[in-house]
């Protein structure tokens, strides 16, 4: 880890966008906790890849919707020092037209994005505040900005995350902590592959292509850098011109 490196946690770090962010933060000299819930093997592999390339990383497994186990995992991490970079990337979608949406589909999506945000972020705040330096990046979605058929639950969850981003940014701005959200459009990951085919991308995206996880990671890397110290409370969409 470089002298300027911070301790970073990326939730959902074993997924497409999360893995790209972990790799980029590791490349930039931060010690990265690669979080996963069920993807422990993938998180371990990503951490090993970062280490093999000269970086510093380790896997960290817990269910963000379980407040007790999340707190226990984070308390263990905090014994070694504060987390100063947090990327809340964990999220799921469970799509259905709203009239046919089950209670389980609604609560599952809300639980991961919103309760998960609270369960992970709140325990890390006071240690971060004491250092008077911190970066929080919440991964939202373009669906929260323009809506999407079949994603009332997902749009609601990410819209709430955007609102939380703006409010929290005001609470901690004078403590050297920034809080921003990234709202990706169609990004080429396993999550989107079964949802948007080439024709849909051609129709929806003015750039006529899906974005890459690396492009999202580059934006995250900027937002956690010293160069972005005056950027806070923003929801920045990376979407190829969709809006």
Question: Which token pair is 31?
Answer: 């010690």
Single out the catalytic residue among 33, 118, 154, 230. Answer: 154
Structural contact between residues 183 and 142, judged by C-beta atoms closer than 8 angstroms:
yes
The answer to whether 230 is a known catalytic residue is no
For 34, how many CA atoms within 13 A lie in the half-sphere containing its CB?
33
Structural contact between residues 22 and 77, judged by C-beta atoms closer than 8 angstroms:
no
Any long-range contacts for 217-222 (C-beta under 8 Å, 24+ apart)?
217/17, 217/20, 217/21, 217/23, 217/24, 218/24, 219/182, 220/21, 220/24, 220/25, 220/87, 220/137, 220/182, 221/21, 221/24, 221/25, 221/28
> From CA 148, how far away is CA 243, in angstroms rounded?
13
> From CA 25, how far away is CA 133, in angstroms rounded?
17
Which whole-number Å values give the CA distances from 76 to 34, 71, 113, in the listed order? 15, 9, 23
Active site residues: 154
């Amino acid at each position: 880890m470089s002298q300027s490196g911070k301790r970073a946690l990326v939730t959902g770090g074993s997924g497409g966008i999360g893995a790209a962010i972990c790799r980029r933060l590791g490349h930039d000299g931060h010690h990265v906790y690669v979080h996963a819930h069920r993807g422990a093997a993938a998180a371990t592999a990503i951490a090993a890849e970062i280490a093999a390339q000269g970086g510093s990383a380790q896997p960290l497994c817990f269910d963000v919707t379980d407040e007790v186990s999340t707190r226990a995992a984070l308390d263990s991490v905090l014994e070694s020092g504060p987390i100063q970079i947090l990327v809340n990337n964990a999220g799921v979608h469970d799509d259905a037209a709203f009239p046919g949406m089950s209670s389980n589909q609604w609560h599952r999506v809300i639980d991961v994005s919103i309760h998960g945000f609270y369960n992970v972020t709140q325990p890390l705040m006071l240690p971060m505040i004491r250092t008077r330096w911190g970066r929080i990046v919440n991964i939202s979605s373009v669906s929260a900005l323009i809506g999407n058929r079949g994603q009332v639950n997902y749009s609601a969850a990410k819209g709430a995350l955007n609102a939380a981003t703006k409010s929290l940014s005001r609470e901690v701005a004078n403590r050297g902590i920034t809080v921003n959200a990234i709202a990706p459009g169609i990004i080429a990951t396993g999550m989107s592959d079964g949802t948007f085919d080439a024709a849909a991308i051609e129709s929806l995206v003015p750039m006529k292509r899906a974005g890459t996880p690396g492009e999202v990671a580059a934006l995250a890397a900027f937002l956690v850098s010293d160069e972005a110290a005056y950027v806070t409370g923003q929801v920045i969409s990376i979407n190829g011109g969709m809006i």
